[in-house]
Amino acid sequence: WTDRAQAFQEINRVATNKFIAITWDPAAKPFWLTRDYFPAIYETDKRIFPSLTELSDYFADIIVKPLLIPGNCEDGLLAAFWKRPDAYLSNQVRQSTSAFAQLPNLADGARKLSDDLASGAWARKNEAVLNLPALDVGYRLVTATIRKA
């Protein structure tokens, strides 16, 4: 749906009771990948994902829970490899992730990441996250009640 309002109205029309979704919170700060190497992903996602406030305009009784991404996540979503940065150098990984498909130029970010991994700059800059078992990058599990007219 290019029109979020229309999409949410349609969900309310066809769903019977509950709405459950995994989303990304545009108020979240970028994590190392979208901060240092592919900031265009962060800027694009801020535009395309609804805010939690916007969701409350269409649904009732909203409950939002952080969806932490474990360091060994294999799902393939954008942040899945946050603890294994070399995976983002793989064309297969990037081509399997919709966020990368929206970027016109991946070469600069991939080259910078490759250089930082080779020099040790990535590890120095991201030392604090390396010992974490999971990371909050802004993904949210949202449950809500459908509003019937």
Q: What confidence score (pLDDT) does residue 149 get?
A: 64
pTM (whole model) above 0.75: yes
Mean pLDDT by 10 residues, the chain (149 residues): 89 92 96 97 94 94 97 93 96 91 89 98 96 97 89
Per-residue DSSP letter, 102? T
Q: What confidence score (pLDDT) does residue 29 get?
A: 97
Q: What confidence score (pLDDT) does residue 108 get?
A: 94
CATH number reported for the structural domain that contains residue 77 in this entry: 3.40.50.150
The vertex-83 CA angle with 81 and 89, nearest 5°, equals: 50
Whether the CB-CB separation of 141 and 22 falls below 8 Å is answered with yes
Q: What confidence score (pLDDT) does residue 147 get?
A: 85
Number of domains in the chain: 1
- Please give the residue range of the domain that contains residue 48: 4-146
